[in-house]
Amino acid sequence: MSKSQIDGDSSLSKRRRERATKSNRRSGILLGSFVALAVAGAAWYWTQVAEPARGKEAYEEETSRLFVEMKSKSNRLSENSSGEALNAFEIEIRELAERDGVKPERVDPLIENVEALKKTKSERRQEFEAMREAIKAFPLDSLPEKIKAFDAQIPGSVSRLERSQGAKLRSDWLERRKAVASELKTQSVGELMIRSDPSKADVYLDGKLLSKTPFKVSGVRTGRREVVLKKMGYRDRSILVSIEDSGGNDLGTVVLDPIVGGVRIIVSGGKSRDKIEIEIEEADESVSVGGLEVVQGYQHFEGREHQLDALRIGNYVLIVSVNGKIANESSFVVSEGETRQVLVEI
């Protein structure tokens, strides 16, 4: 083989190797670019899809866990829970309500529950303070009946209060009760007498019904007392009296003022020459007026028409007689400040 042929073959091989090298370089560049793209794509997927999805799932799991925890706490809360516990729970549940994806209908009942409990505690506190003030202001000279009434009131209040409040209330009342009992032991007693015109009026001493007039009682604690007389159809009469222990305390005869109304009675029918007589009386028991036992409100008239402007209020019986014989018997009511018309047919 000639030298020129050998040189030609070497030159051809060299060009082939150069082309092969360039081709390998291009392949390497393409592979590197593909790998880079793949890595970038994987990174984008991880940061933009996979990781957010994973984070959202974890967030939702955390939200569900918190809701279950809050619901459990809500079930454990009660009217006896401390104010600090209720406030702390309210803050937590409101923070939960602000999380993404939390539906109001899930947390609203929990918020309403804690608000209701806080309202109850506030009402208990107000009742507790009011009862403590009432105990402090309880008069030392109170009657035994008033003491018993307050005794009966305490258990009801205690049952509505928190345990510590109830215990404090009982303690305060026991101390005040001891002071009242001590005051009672040092007090003297006297006698009280009272009459009324008309009689059989109810007698109230310091708000307690005792009896009817005429009335006499001993063992009344000395000091300033209020006597009230009450009778249907009469205005109440209040008398302030200072009971002395040096003897009887006679209030004398108290005249009661009647509450009045009017009536107009008209009788029709019969003959013009008939003798018409009208009788009215109160449908009530007899009483003592001016020292005499009488039927209340009794009046007698002759004629067909009569108007009375000062009848004591109440129920009345009306009897109409014709020529000495009862022809009609009925009833009517007298009201304060009114004049009632009563028509009678014979």
User: Per-residue pLDDT tens for 255-303?
Assistant: 999 888 999 999 999 888 999 999 998 876 554 444 544 456 688 989 9
In a shared domain, residues 268 and 336? yes
Domain count, the chain: 3
Give a yes or no: residue 47 inside a domain.
no
The answer on 314 and 245 residing in a single domain is no
**81 and 158 in a common domain:** yes
Mean pLDDT along residues 198-203: 91
Same domain, 341 and 288: yes
Q: Is the alpha carbon torsion for 177, 183, 188, 193 positive or negative?
A: negative
Pick from 96-100, 144-148, 291-295, 322-326: least confident: 291-295
| pLDDT for res 298 | 80
Quick check: helix, strand or coil at residue 98? coil
Determine the distance from the C-alpha atom of residue 80 to the mean position of all C-alpha atoms in its chain, rounded to a whole number. Answer: 20
Give the other-Cβ count within 10 Å of 172's Cβ.
17
Element (H, E) at 156: helix 144-160
138 lies in some domain:
yes
- Does 264 share its domain with 250? no
Q: Is position 65 within any domain?
A: no
Say yes or no: 235 and 319 in one domain. no
- Provide the mean pLDDT of the chain: 80
pLDDT top residue among 250 and 344: 344
Residue 249 sits in a domain whose CATH number is: 2.60.40.10
| Two structure tokens written together for 109 | 């009942």
Q: End of a domain among 255, 273, 299?
A: 255
Looking at the chain, how many residues does it have?
Answer: 346
- For residue 126, what pLDDT is reported? 92
| Pair 82, 153 in one domain | yes
Of 229, 255, 281, the position where a domain reaches its end is: 255
- What per-residue confidence (pLDDT) applies to 291? 52
**Would you say residue 334 lies in a domain?**
yes
Non-local (6+) Cβ contacts of 265 within 8 A are 278, 280, 305, 306, 307, 308, 318, 342, 344
pLDDT at 201 over 90: yes
249 compared with 121, residue with greater pLDDT: 121
Q: How far is CA 179 from the centre of its chain?
A: 31
- Residues 124-135 have a mean pLDDT of 93
Domain harbouring 281, CATH code: 2.60.40.1120
% of the chain at pLDDT higher than 90: 27
Residue 44 maps to a domain: no
Confirm whether 316 is domain-assigned.
yes
The verdict on residue 25 lying in a domain is: no
Same domain, residue pair 212 and 170: no
Beta pairing partners, 1 = none
Kindly state the percentage of the chain with pLDDT values over 70. Answer: 74
More confident residue, 289 or 108: 108
Q: Is the pLDDT of residue 5 over 80?
A: no
Region 77-98: mean pLDDT is 81
Residues 6+ apart with CB under 8 A from 324: 275, 277
Q: Which residues contact 311 (CB under 8 A, 6 or more apart)?
A: 260, 261, 262, 263, 297, 334
Mean pLDDT for 332-342 is 90
Which residue among 198, 221, 255 closes a domain?
255
Q: Which domain holds residue 135?
A: 77-184
Bigger pLDDT: 29 or 154?
154
Residue 115 sits in the same domain as residue 200: no
124, part of any domain: yes
Same domain for 228 and 266, yes or no, is no
Angle at 258 between CA 343 and CA 330, to 5 degrees: 25
Instruction: Reply yes or no on whether the pLDDT at 170 is more than 80.
Output: yes
Residue 253: pLDDT over 60: yes
pLDDT in tens, 15-28: 666 665 666 666 66
The mean pLDDT of 216-234, rounded to a whole number, is: 82
Same domain, 249 and 290: no
Residue with tokens 């029709």: 268
pLDDT for the residue numbered 27: 63
> Based on the domain organization, do 92 and 148 belong to the same domain?
yes
Average pLDDT over residues 55-77: 74
